[in-house]
Amino acid sequence: MKPHLGYPGFFDGLSVLCRPWLRPLRVMAMALLLAIPIGAGTANAMPDSGPATGAHVFLLRGVLNIFSLGLDDIAAKLRRQGIPVTVANFVSWSSLADQAAAEYRSGKVRTIILVGHSSGATALPDMVAKLGRLGVPVKLAIGLDSVFRTKLAGHAERYINFYVASGPGEPVTRTRDFRGALENVDVQAVPGVGHLSIDKNQIMQQKVMSAIDAAVFNRPAMASVARNPLQPEASAARQSPAAAARN
């Protein structure tokens, strides 16, 4: 899979902006992109003085930082739980992988979790693959409406790809080099969910938080959401791991 930079006629999965009636919005968005530094809005990891969870969550925004602000809400919720968080633009995925690997090798971090929206979700397989080459496992990766078909390699204990089938979102496929469980979950039935709102939708944020809490604190979580993304968390949790593996 190639690095996801410079998609012609496309930014942050907003292929709809190429439609004639949205050209003024496209021009405005491009102006904003030129005005905003790539790293704008980046939040550093929580200071070491917080509770020692042994985890670090990396959240990758899409091309335009102004469209992935739901990740900031998720980051705030995680920090309140004492979980160190880094929020960055998706173009930083390679350097963030180096950072995660260094923290893992030092013993400071044992649980690495990745979350991405739009182009940030599209970059997640690249980050998982690089960490795999560095000998570092990913505990959990969650993609929110990846905008290109991507293939997984490396090692992620659990990879959840939430996508809106009626929009620009795409399923993720696995290669023979991937080790872990992969779930592709079409969430177009979730009320109010679209490409620009999936990261901000409260139902989706709850699903993301539930999966992260399960990975960090060993709490019960839905074993699989593939069959019905609207089912209650507790009901989904009663599915067996074997059932989840079949999805």
215: CB partners within 8 A, 6+ apart: 55, 111, 113, 139, 140, 157, 158, 221
Looking at residue 78, what is its pLDDT?
96
Helix (H, G, I), strand (E, B) or coil at 111: strand
Please identify every stretch of the chain with a pLDDT value under 70, giving residue numbers as ranges: 1-52, 219-247
Share of the chain above pLDDT 70, in %: 67
Task: Read off the tokens for 231.
Answer: 């089912």
Angle at 33 between CA 62 and CA 59, to 5 degrees: 25
Q: Which residues of 16-49 are buried (b: 16+ CB within 10 A; e: fewer)?
A: ebeeeeeeeebeebeeeeeeeeeeebeeebbeee
C-beta of residue 174 within 8 angstroms of C-beta of residue 152: yes
Nearest Cα to Cα of residue 212 among 86, 55, 80: 55
Per-residue pLDDT tens over the stretch 204-215: 999 999 999 999
The answer to whether the CB of 11 falls within 8 A of the CB of 64 is yes
Here the tokens at position 227 are 């069959």
- Domain spans of the chain? 15-246
User: pTM of the prediction?
Assistant: 0.73
Residue 29 identity: A
* Burial of 8 from C-beta contacts in 10 A (0-12 / 13-18 / 19+): exposed
Q: What is the CATH number of domain 15-246?
A: 3.40.50.1820
Segment holding 173, helix H or strand E: strand 172-186
